[in-house]
């Protein structure tokens, strides 16, 4: 699990909580930033802990400071689909909704910086530009949800796995310019990958070894992935630049 922390984007302090550059902090004036800093409360979860369940009250909003969180929905009969994965800097919870509609679970040890809902919403109401900031983030989430719909509905198992790896590689690349290759630690188990991609564990495993034997990736310790050429991976993913 160490590798995940290592490859996380650089952080800067924000009232005891480290917030990545893209987090909501950055678009604020110094005064507002101070107000946000003042209300942030650190919380910690171990790998596997539930942060919140489906359809329950969630009194906080939070920035993910470190670690990886998976968001999932479950059918009545237990079938599960992961609908999103959040990394350091991502925002968890939504204003205007105090009921959750999906489960959030720590995949690695997770640090959150939590803001009590009432106080946060008051700050949003009082702060010029903060609502827009959150709105834009929601639109980004909407776009990625829709891209994932294309993957789930129309792509093959090989393409799904390749595109998943590509996504992780891109996330980990952070600000650094586009490199030819990449090396990173997978934050998710094969089972979680399967739930994200709408496949079974066995199929994910087979496609991983297939990509390996094809020479597109190298695998050590089951979780450490080296990509030879990101372009090749993109081609295997069905040609997807974004």
Partner DNA sequence: GGCGCGGGTTGATCGAGATCAAGGCGATAT
Partner DNA sequence: ATATCGCCTTGATCTCGATCAACCCGCGCC
Contacting positions for DNA (CB under 7 A)? 156-158, 189-191, 198-206, 208-209, 219, 222-223
Given its own copies, DNA, none, residue 205, with its beta carbon under 5 to 8 Å by kind, binds DNA
Rg of the chain on CA atoms, in Å: 18
Q: Does 134 bind its own copies (CB under 8 A)?
A: yes
Closest CA to 82 of 98, 100, 104, 99: 104
Beta strands (DSSP E) in 2-59 are 11-14, 17-20, 41-45, 50-52
Q: Does 39 bind its own copies (CB under 8 A)?
A: no
Residue 46 or 129 with smaller CB distance to DNA: 46
> Which range binds its own copies by CB under 8 A, 17-25, 142-150, 173-181, 211-219?
142-150
> Which range binds its own copies by CB under 8 A, 15-23, 30-38, 105-113, 140-148?
140-148
Given DNA, its own copies, none, residue 158, with its beta carbon under 5 to 8 Å by kind, binds DNA
Tokens standing for 179? 């490199």
Instruction: Give the list of residues 6+ apart from residue 112 with CB closer than 8 angstroms, or none.
Output: 42, 43, 44, 45, 51, 62, 63, 64, 65, 92
Distance CA 160, CA 208 (A): 11
- In sequence order, the β-bridge partners of residue 184 are 225
Q: Which residues bind its own copies (CB under 8 A)?
A: 73, 75-77, 79-81, 83-84, 94-97, 101-102, 131-132, 134-136, 138-139, 141-143, 145-150, 152-155, 197-198, 238-240
């Amino acid at each position: 699990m160490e590798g995940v922390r290592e490859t996380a984007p650089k952080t800067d302090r924000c009232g005891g909580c480290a917030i990545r550059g893209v987090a909501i902090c950055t678009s604020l004036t110094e005064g507002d930033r101070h107000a946000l800093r003042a209300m942030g409360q650190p919380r910690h979860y171990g790998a596997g802990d539930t942060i919140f369940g489906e359809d329950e009250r969630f009194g906080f909003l939070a920035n993910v400071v470190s670690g990886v969180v998976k968001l999932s929905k479950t059918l009545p009969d237990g079938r599960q689909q992961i609908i999103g994965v959040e990394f350091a800097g991502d925002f968890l919870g939504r204003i205007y909704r105090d009921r959750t509609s999906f489960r959030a679970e720590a995949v690695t040890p997770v640090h959150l910086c939590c803001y009590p809902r009432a106080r946060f919403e008051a700050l949003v109401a009082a702060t010029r530009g903060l609502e827009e900031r959150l709105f834009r983030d929601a639109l980004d989430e909407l776009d990625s949800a829709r891209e994932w719909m294309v993957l789930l509905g129309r792509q093959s198992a090989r393409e799904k796995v390749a595109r998943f790896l590509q996504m992780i590689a891109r996330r980990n690349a952070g600000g650094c310019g586009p490199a030819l290759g990449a090396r990173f630690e997978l934050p998710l188990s094969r089972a979680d990958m399967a739930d994200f991609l709408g496949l079974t564990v066995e199929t994910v495993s087979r496609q991983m070894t297939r990509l390996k034997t094809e020479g597109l990736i190298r695998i050590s310790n089951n979780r450490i992935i080296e990509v030879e050429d990101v372009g090749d991976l993109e081609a295997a993913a069905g040609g997807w630049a974004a």
